[in-house]
Amino acid sequence: MVQSMTGFAAQSGATAGVSWTVEIRGVNAKGLDIRVRAPERMTGFDQTLKARLQKSLTRGNINVSVRTEQEGGTHAVQINEETLDGFLQALTKTEAQAKKAGVELRPVSATDLMGLRGVIGTGDESAAIPPEADVLRTADAALADFIEMRTREGAALKTVLEDSLSGVEDLVSQSANIAEARKDTVAETLKANLATVMSNTDGADPDRVAQELALLAVKADVTEEIDRLRAHVAAARALLSEGGAMGRKLDFLMQEFNREANTLCSKSGSTELTRVGLDLKALIDQMREQVQNVE
């Protein structure tokens, strides 16, 4: 089964006068990066939820948001009197110490106090803490939906990649046909090149002459590149059939596809084969973009 790294899911729950929502968003990434944002009062919950998600996900940049809200409440700004009293006491002591030391402090405004962390909040920050087990069940439901969406996206990606592989296979076959059709022309060109080399071998190192002759023969033959491209197509199809985390392997295969296509173009020796090689490179680039989203 092919899975995409892109997805979104949200689930909500409520109990004992407090409600909550868990949202999970994912985009592509080289590895697995999970970030959980939960209310500060739910101490340690972000790490618990992160560990839970790591068991089910392999790759992707995953952002999880947990929001709580007091049922029947409003989103009006609320003052955390306990936190404010603590800051005011600390401020009084600070001013006393500064005065004793002869240091003059600027006046503190209400705006300064409101900007201090935890002094004010909305219903989300001030809501009662929901039972962790209940929120985790909601998170599990959101995760199941998230994985289902990534699976649907993955199925679409698989179809696109399989179609692209068929296109690559067709272009490789065209390359093979062109190479076969131009054998006589290549043979004549090779003979002419060999004659040029042999006519300038007086006093030349025999080993170097042999190397040059071998190089001319290699440059004219694209059989190896065509065979490798066909092998890469077979390997990619096998990966898509096996399922599991395959994104990195497919990405490596795309690099190999591109390398063989580049060599094919450099050794083409004909406008027609070069055209097919360029079409092949364009299709491989399209596949590589799609592969970036595969888990």
pLDDT at 50: 95
Can you read off the two tokens belonging to residue 94?
């600070």
pTM exceeds 0.85 for this model? no
Confidence of residue 209 (pLDDT cuts 50, 70, 90): very low
Q: How far apart are the first and last CA of the chain?
A: 10
Question: In this structure, how many other beta carbons lie within 10 angstroms of the beta carbon of residue 150?
Answer: 24
Pick from 112-121, 248-257, 274-283: least confident: 112-121
Dump pLDDT digits (tens) for 88-136: 888 888 888 888 888 888 888 888 877 777 777 654 554 578 899 999 9
Tell me which of 287 and 110 has the higher pLDDT.
287
Q: How far is CA 265 from CA 18, 226, 258, 261, 270, in A?
A: 65, 11, 11, 6, 9
Can you read off the two tokens belonging to residue 266?
């450099």
Dump pLDDT digits (tens) for 153-188: 999 999 999 999 999 999 999 998 887 776 656 556
